[in-house]
Chains A and B, each alone.
Chain A
Amino acid sequence: MDATFSLLTMTGASAMLLLALAVLWRHHVPAYITAFRMQSVALAFVGAVVAWFGDVSELFLVAALILALKGWIVPRILARMEARRPGDRGLHPLVNTEMSLLLSGGLAVAAYEISRPVAEVISLPTRGGLPLALALILVSLFIVVSRRQVIAQIVGFLMLENGIALLALLGAYGVPLVVELGVFLDVLLGVLVMQALVPGMGEPSAG
């Protein structure tokens, strides 16, 4: 029972990490948005698995919320924003693709090293996925820093939120509901405000 549970969570977490690497690999913003959408779906799946196996009932609600909010509403907003900013498409990132991928590999190893003490402490079956969650956090940090397109930065920030949510899910079967709802509210508000600010900014500075 626990074996399949940890196997499923592992596959979900690694899928999310791979999707983050996809952002590093591709250059076009629409690709980023689809990568984010699929990552959110994977997160919802992991949520559901934890809810099912860890028999934590309210996690089903959380998984549904993730699916609705991050899987559908936010990507739609991002797509609409992207349509209005054709100029960003061709922008090259600060760090070329090979370097980015190598670096993200390094970050994954660093994440593993950092999370080692945490993993030893946790007795839950899902502790295997913790290094992956931390790796996702560090990689999405790198995405925000290195991407030049504004929307790519937003996607990076959202992936960072997904990484932390994953950490919470794997670490302790999710934070208390009221905090989870608060986080969703903030993410939604954040995206709305970013969406309001972005058109006024014009071309991102070359710096």
Chain B
Amino acid sequence: MIGTALASAMAAFAAGAVFALAWPSGAGARRLSLASAFAGCVAALVLGVDMLDSGISWTWQSQAVLQPLGGVSLRVDPLGAFFVAIVALTGAPASLYALGYLRELDGRLRGRAVHALFNVFLAGMCLVPLADNAATFLFAWEVMALSSYLLVVSDPEQEGAAAAGLWYAVMTHAGFLALLAAFVMLAQNGPLEFPAMRAAAGTLTPAAQSTSVLLTLAAFGSKAGLVPLHVWLPRAHPAAPSHVSALMSGAMVKLGVYGTIRVLFDLMPPLSPWWGGAVLALGVVTALTGVLYSVAETHIKRVLAYSTVENIGLIFVGLGFALLMRAYDSGVLAAMGLVVALLHTLNHAVFKSLLFLAAGAVVHGARASSLEALGGLIKRMPHTAALCLIGVLALAAVPPLNGFTSEWLTFQLLLAGARYTAPSLAIMLPLALAAVALVAGLAAVSAVRFFGIAFLALPRTDGARDAHEAPLTMRAAMAMPALACVVLGLVPTLAVTQLTAVVSDLGLPMGQLDTGLALSLPLIGSRLWPIAIAALMAAAAIAAVLGTRAARGRQVRIDAAWNCGRIAQSPRSEYTAAAFAEPLKRVFTGFYRPTHEVTVEVHPVSPYFVRAITLRADLAPWMEQAIYAPVVRAAQRLSAQASRLHTGSIHLYLALLPAALLVLLLLGRWIR
């Protein structure tokens, strides 16, 4: 059953790519290629769910392809199936969404390329979790990276696209090379097969082990967006078409998480606790950086990109915790850490793809991508606003949506960890808990700011004023993840029971679990019953509605809002996105390092008549200046130095010959 599902998924993606390129009519190509992409995603979902239910792992080898590296070998195990399901869950709505979203590209070559690459991207992402040897993993990984790079740079009108693409390509390739080094080190002298690596992992020398762990974290950290390696994410997402950035944030970034789990938990023996602490700390720092920048950004997709960095940080907090507990071999806590990380991966994949699709609809409808140019869209785009509200609430991790359940479990995790482990370690967990709480609070601020400034109050530009509602297919595409957010929020046990199967397959049994509607994991003292809380809230709300309807005496009058008595209410009096974040910028100036440039334009007649004052406030990207700028400068200087060797004088060139001869002769003599 799984084999046929995988075969049909791959066939669908291949057909999609072929249709996109070969089908005569532009519109037909779009519809057919995206329909087959959708079918592929459904097949992949069937594969994932079926594997998680039945639990029978399925393998397939072939030496015909990639033979020198050991051929292709696929293995569907619960962990891989779960991530294929995530790819499918975000891929299906994205492909349905693209039907309406890319209509204007129909006739153009670029449109066909985008649809074909979209299918290749999906196929690559579905193969990565199923790879069972380094060759297939690296091949699928690079196909995914190349197709997503081409999608990022596919829109020439996007002014930052080329630069974003370059950052993305170079960082992804650096990650790939680190991954290659890690696999080669793990394989030692054996074949590049995961089972062989798993067996040989025990014999790794401590130095080799820590280097390969470092390389793995660098490789998958750069793909997931851990802090020092996250800089491509806020650049690539705004440049890519919205359904692609939904897929990138929803699924591709998660494959970084998958890789970390596969190597650190599956291939490697328990590492020293130091690594667990490092990953936890890295997760906390990433979450804080992500949320702080998402509160201060004004570009609609960059806000969401930074919030992806934040959520990845939270996932790595769970992973770090699991690594830590595994090092102290308290298996149940480690298993719980992994379950929480995987649950948050699923939740984030769902609500982030919803938000990116909504952002795409906003940019598509209001033809503006900065929050400062939007406003009042709720009146022109009510359905998109409602769906975006669900996503925003999930982002802010408030009940009754799915963001809250994984947030609550992360709190419980850190609480349980602090209680059951040695005091020396336990000091770190409260700090982590405090940081995660701060991140949750700031996420709420970012959510309110994102929804409030974009959708509420008065439209700030003409584009926002006559924005048009998204076409039906786009709204239907957004409805799917929105529904998933609500369902996962109300009945989290649906996902948690599957995840315990995944985790126990990785050798971390969690014992049996009561499958009631409430969430109560072992070692956690308290219980969460989300559906009951939702019922309570609904009851209270209905009571309030009935109360107001019964008590309302006279009629409801619609009149101008109170604005200190001024007559005309103009959008200029509204709070802007930058103003909304101003208090937080004051509080966290150390982090933001805001730069204020005030230019006063004076009337030529006399300096006392000021014509215009302009203020340019910006955030100094100090992290990039500190880490990346020196590296780029060094490379350029080195390269300029090297090309200076080419003076063009033949005498220098000729002199190099005897010089080379003498050097090699000396080297020869020295070797003997």
Measured CB to CB, the residues of A under 8 A from B are 94, 110, 114, 138, 141-142, 144-146, 148, 153, 204-205, 207
Are A207 and B654 in contact, CB atoms less than 8 angstroms apart? no
Are A205 and B650 in contact, CB atoms less than 8 angstroms apart? yes
Are A145 and B665 in contact, CB atoms less than 8 angstroms apart? no
Residue ID in chain B nearest A107 by CB atoms: B658
Are B658 and A145 in contact, CB atoms less than 8 angstroms apart? yes
Q: Which of B618-648 contact A (CB under 8 A)?
A: 647-648
Q: Interface range on chain B: under 10, 10 to 19, 20 to 34, or 35 or more?
A: 10 to 19
- State which of A110, A114, A141, A207 has its C-beta within 8 Å of the C-beta of B651: A207
* 9 smallest beta-carbon distances between A and B, as pairs: A207-B649, A145-B654, A145-B655, A141-B658, A144-B654, A207-B647, A94-B651, A207-B648, A145-B651
Q: Give the Cβ gap from B25 to chain A, nearest Cβ, in Å.
A: 58
Bound-complex Cα distance A142 to B662 (A): 13
Are A138 and B658 in contact, CB atoms less than 8 angstroms apart? yes
Q: Does B64 contact A (CB under 8 A)?
A: no
- State which of B649, B654, B655, B665 has its C-beta within 8 Å of the C-beta of A205: B649
What residues of A have a CB within 8 angstroms of the CB of B657 in the complex? Answer: 141, 145
Interchain residue pairs with CB less than 8 A apart (14): A110-B662, A138-B658, A141-B658, A142-B658, A145-B651, A145-B654, A145-B655, A145-B658, A153-B650, A204-B650, A205-B648, A205-B649, A207-B649, A207-B652
Are B665 and A114 in contact, CB atoms less than 8 angstroms apart? yes
Residue ID in chain B nearest A148 by CB atoms: B651
Bound-complex Cα distance A146 to B662 (A): 17
Q: Give the Cβ gap from A121 to chain B, nearest Cβ, in Å.
A: 16
Measured CB to CB, the residues of B under 8 A from A are 647-652, 654-655, 657-658, 662, 665
What residues of A have a CB within 8 angstroms of the CB of B655 in the complex? Answer: 145
Are A146 and B665 CB-contacts (below 8 A) given A138-B658, A141-B657, A141-B658? no
Q: Give the Cβ gap from A34 to chain B, nearest Cβ, in Å.
A: 24
Bound-complex Cα distance A142 to B652 (A): 12
What residues of A have a CB within 8 angstroms of the CB of B658 in the complex? Answer: 138, 141-142, 145
Bound-complex Cα distance A27 to B36 (A): 81
What residues of A have a CB within 8 angstroms of the CB of B654 in the complex? Answer: 144-145
What residues of A have a CB within 8 angstroms of the CB of B662 in the complex? Answer: 110
Bound-complex Cα distance A148 to B649 (A): 11
Residue ID in chain A nearest B654 by CB atoms: A145
Q: Give the Cβ gap from B308 to chain A, nearest Cβ, in Å.
A: 55
What residues of A have a CB within 8 angstroms of the CB of B647 in the complex? Answer: 207
Q: Is chain B's binding surface mostly helix, strand, loop or mixed?
A: helix
Residue ID in chain B nearest A207 by CB atoms: B649
Q: Which of B648, B651, B654 has the most CB of A within 10 A?
A: B651
What residues of A have a CB within 8 angstroms of the CB of B650 in the complex? Answer: 153, 204-205, 207
Bound-complex Cα distance A94 to B649 (A): 12
| Given A110-B662, A207-B651, 4 new contacts (CB under 8 A) | A138-B658, A145-B655, A153-B650, A207-B648
Bound-complex Cα distance A74 to B412 (A): 93
What residues of A have a CB within 8 angstroms of the CB of B648 in the complex? Answer: 205, 207
Bound-complex Cα distance A141 to B660 (A): 12
Residue ID in chain A nearest B657 by CB atoms: A141
Q: Give the Cβ gap from A205 to chain B, nearest Cβ, in Å.
A: 6
Bound-complex Cα distance A18 to B665 (A): 26
Q: Give the Cβ gap from B205 to chain A, nearest Cβ, in Å.
A: 42
What residues of B have a CB within 8 angstroms of the CB of A138 in the complex? Answer: 658
Bound-complex Cα distance A94 to B650 (A): 12
What residues of B have a CB within 8 angstroms of the CB of A114 in the complex? Answer: 665
Bound-complex Cα distance A205 to B652 (A): 12
Residue ID in chain B nearest A142 by CB atoms: B658
Bound-complex Cα distance A204 to B651 (A): 11
Bound-complex Cα distance A138 to B661 (A): 10
What residues of B have a CB within 8 angstroms of the CB of A146 in the complex? Answer: 651
What residues of B have a CB within 8 angstroms of the CB of A207 in the complex? Answer: 647-652
Residue ID in chain B nearest A150 by CB atoms: B650
Bound-complex Cα distance A138 to B659 (A): 11
Bound-complex Cα distance A145 to B662 (A): 15
What residues of B have a CB within 8 angstroms of the CB of A205 in the complex? Answer: 648-650
Q: Give the Cβ gap from B650 to chain A, nearest Cβ, in Å.
A: 7
Bound-complex Cα distance A114 to B669 (A): 10
Bound-complex Cα distance A142 to B649 (A): 16
Q: Give the Cβ gap from A201 to chain B, nearest Cβ, in Å.
A: 11
What residues of B have a CB within 8 angstroms of the CB of A110 in the complex? Answer: 662
Q: Give the Cβ gap from B22 to chain A, nearest Cβ, in Å.
A: 52
Bound-complex Cα distance A110 to B654 (A): 19
Q: Which of B648, B650, B657 has the most CB of A within 10 A?
A: B650
Bound-complex Cα distance A138 to B652 (A): 17
Residue ID in chain B nearest A156 by CB atoms: B654
Bound-complex Cα distance A148 to B665 (A): 28
Q: Which of A138, A144, A146, A148 has the most CB of B within 10 A?
A: A144
Bound-complex Cα distance A189 to B649 (A): 25
Residue ID in chain B nearest A114 by CB atoms: B665
Bound-complex Cα distance A146 to B658 (A): 12
Bound-complex Cα distance A205 to B649 (A): 7
What residues of B have a CB within 8 angstroms of the CB of A94 in the complex? Answer: 651
Bound-complex Cα distance A145 to B652 (A): 8
Residue ID in chain B nearest A147 by CB atoms: B651
What residues of A have a CB within 8 angstroms of the CB of B652 in the complex? Answer: 207
Bound-complex Cα distance A154 to B662 (A): 23
What residues of B have a CB within 8 angstroms of the CB of A148 in the complex? Answer: 651
Bound-complex Cα distance A13 to B577 (A): 89
Q: Give the Cβ gap from B666 to chain A, nearest Cβ, in Å.
A: 11
Residue ID in chain A nearest B662 by CB atoms: A110
Bound-complex Cα distance A114 to B662 (A): 10
Q: Give the Cβ gap from B376 to chain A, nearest Cβ, in Å.
A: 69
Residue ID in chain B nearest A94 by CB atoms: B651
What residues of A have a CB within 8 angstroms of the CB of B649 in the complex? Answer: 205, 207
Q: Give the Cβ gap from A207 to chain B, nearest Cβ, in Å.
A: 3
Residue ID in chain A nearest B665 by CB atoms: A114
Q: Give the Cβ gap from A58 to chain B, nearest Cβ, in Å.
A: 32
Bound-complex Cα distance A153 to B658 (A): 15
Residue ID in chain B nearest A138 by CB atoms: B658
Q: Give the Cβ gap from A86 to chain B, nearest Cβ, in Å.
A: 21
What residues of B have a CB within 8 angstroms of the CB of A142 in the complex? Answer: 658
What residues of B have a CB within 8 angstroms of the CB of A153 in the complex? Answer: 650
Residue ID in chain A nearest B653 by CB atoms: A145
What residues of A have a CB within 8 angstroms of the CB of B651 in the complex? Answer: 94, 145-146, 148, 207
Residue ID in chain A nearest B649 by CB atoms: A207
Bound-complex Cα distance A204 to B652 (A): 14
Bound-complex Cα distance A110 to B658 (A): 12
Bound-complex Cα distance A180 to B214 (A): 60
What residues of B have a CB within 8 angstroms of the CB of A204 in the complex? Answer: 650
Bound-complex Cα distance A110 to B661 (A): 12
Q: Give the Cβ gap from B404 to chain A, nearest Cβ, in Å.
A: 73
Q: Give the Cβ gap from B33 to chain A, nearest Cβ, in Å.
A: 57
Q: Give the Cβ gap from B654 to chain A, nearest Cβ, in Å.
A: 5
Q: Give the Cβ gap from A104 to chain B, nearest Cβ, in Å.
A: 12
Bound-complex Cα distance A144 to B654 (A): 8
Residue ID in chain A nearest B655 by CB atoms: A145
Bound-complex Cα distance A114 to B651 (A): 25
Bound-complex Cα distance A169 to B649 (A): 35
Bound-complex Cα distance A157 to B638 (A): 35
Residue ID in chain B nearest A93 by CB atoms: B651
Residue ID in chain A nearest B652 by CB atoms: A207
Bound-complex Cα distance A142 to B651 (A): 10
Bound-complex Cα distance A93 to B655 (A): 14
Bound-complex Cα distance A138 to B657 (A): 11
Residue ID in chain A nearest B656 by CB atoms: A145
Bound-complex Cα distance A45 to B574 (A): 103
Bound-complex Cα distance A110 to B665 (A): 11
Bound-complex Cα distance A91 to B582 (A): 74
Q: Give the Cβ gap from B657 to chain A, nearest Cβ, in Å.
A: 7
Q: Give the Cβ gap from A186 to chain B, nearest Cβ, in Å.
A: 18
Bound-complex Cα distance A153 to B653 (A): 13
Q: Give the Cβ gap from B474 to chain A, nearest Cβ, in Å.
A: 65
Bound-complex Cα distance A123 to B325 (A): 76
Bound-complex Cα distance A148 to B650 (A): 9
Q: Give the Cβ gap from A172 to chain B, nearest Cβ, in Å.
A: 22
